[in-house]
Amino acid sequence: MIIALTLISILLIVIVGIQAKWNGLSIIPNSNDFGKFERRGPEKILHNATIVLTVVFTGLALVSYFIS
C-alpha cells in the first residue's frame, strides 16, 4: 500500500511539473483570451490523468488510514 502511494505521488509530481504553466489560466486583463478554458490534445490528457491519479491517491490514502 505504501509503495503504491509513493509511486502515485511521484507520478502526480511529474505530471503537474510537465503541465504548461503559461497556458493553464488565460485570464489576463485586456487580453482576447479572457474566459477560454478549453483543453486540447496533450494538455487535456495530462489534465485528466491528474484528476484520475488524485482520486486514486486519495482513495488509497483513506483505505490505508482506515486499515491501520
Q: Model confidence at 57, in pLDDT bands (50, 70, 90)?
A: very high
- Cell numbers placing 33: 483570451
Whole-prediction pTM value? 0.72
* Cα–Cα dist 63/49, whole Å: 21
- CA-based nearest residue to 59, from 23, 20, 22, 8: 8
* Cα–Cα dist 27/16, whole Å: 20
Range of the domain at 17: 2-67
Q: Model confidence at 20, in pLDDT bands (50, 70, 90)?
A: low
Burial of 38 (0-12, 13-18, 19+ CB in 10 A): exposed
Number of domains comprising the chain:
1
